[in-house]
Chain A
Amino acid sequence: GNSVTQMEGPVTLSEEAFLTINCTYTATGYPSLFWYVQYPGEGLQLLLKATKADDKGSNKGFEATYRKETTSFHLEKGSVQVSDSAVYFCALTLTNAGKSTFGDGTTLTVKP
């Protein structure tokens, strides 16, 4: 079956620190990979995505590269801000199915 494993949280960083949230996956087939962000009391927002191996998704300073050889899609940001505090979900979708499989989420808190 398909599964997504995320780095356990919570993660607490100081403002301007470097962020890495690890994500690895197992899938039958060739999935698209996603990072979503959820702010308190809200739904999920797409942060970035990559649809094939070696693709790099990027948005708002966040980046993640689709690594087929290591089945990973780690999220990185060079300098986090307090406003980045949220829960981050890694997910995969097999394009012919539409259903997504989500990781457990990683809570990030950035302190001033």
Chain B
Amino acid sequence: GAVVSQHPSWVICKSGTSVKIECRSLDFQATTMFWYRQFPKQSLMLMATSNEGSKATYEQGVEKDKFLINHASLTLSTLTVTSAHPEDSSFYICSAHSLTGDEQFFGPGTRLTVL
């Protein structure tokens, strides 16, 4: 089956620093990737839709200048949390939409802790 990886799987950083999270589709091409945020014991909140070669589409209430998304190729999207603060601590999950079909394939998630 299709595999999506995320790196790093966890990161701890100081307040004010920026953190980059990578999402890769390992054995398929994905023109569209999605970034989600999940708080403990809660559902996934869609943050943005990342389209290869174009600007990301952000959901209402998500600060695009704080959560920078770059979809540089058909297999890689990155999410950069700029000037991170403790309230940005969360579990970030990406998914990749296959070129054919309607299924999303999810990465294993990245646990971000901002001190």
Interface residues in chain A, defined as those with a beta carbon under 8 Å from any beta carbon in chain B: 32, 34, 36, 41-46, 49, 51, 89, 93, 95, 98-100, 102-105, 107
A93 touches B104 (CB 8 A): yes
Question: Given that A89-B43, A102-B44, A107-B41 are known contacts, is A43 also in contact with B103, CB under 8 Å in the complex?
Answer: no
Smallest CB separation, B62 vs chain A (Å): 14
Question: Chain B residue with minimal CB distance to A94?
Answer: B102
In the complex, whether B106 has a CB less than 8 A from a CB of chain A is yes
Question: Given that A44-B93, A98-B49, A98-B97 are known contacts, is A103 also in contact with B43, CB under 8 Å in the complex?
Answer: yes
B42 touches A104 (CB 8 A): yes
Would you list the 10 A-B pairs with minimal beta carbon distance, nearest first?
Answer: A44-B106, A43-B108, A95-B102, A43-B109, A43-B106, A104-B43, A32-B102, A98-B97, A105-B43, A102-B44
Smallest CB separation, B61 vs chain A (Å): 15
The residues of B that contact A107 with a CB separation of less than 8 Å are 41
Q: Give 1 or 0 for each of B29-51: 1 = CB within 8 Å of chain A CB.
A: 00010100000011110100100
A93 touches B93 (CB 8 A): no
A100 touches B104 (CB 8 A): yes
The residues of B that contact A104 with a CB separation of less than 8 Å are 42-43
B49 touches A43 (CB 8 A): no
Question: Given that A89-B44, A93-B102 are known contacts, is A43 also in contact with B107, CB under 8 Å in the complex?
Answer: yes
Smallest CB separation, B83 vs chain A (Å): 26
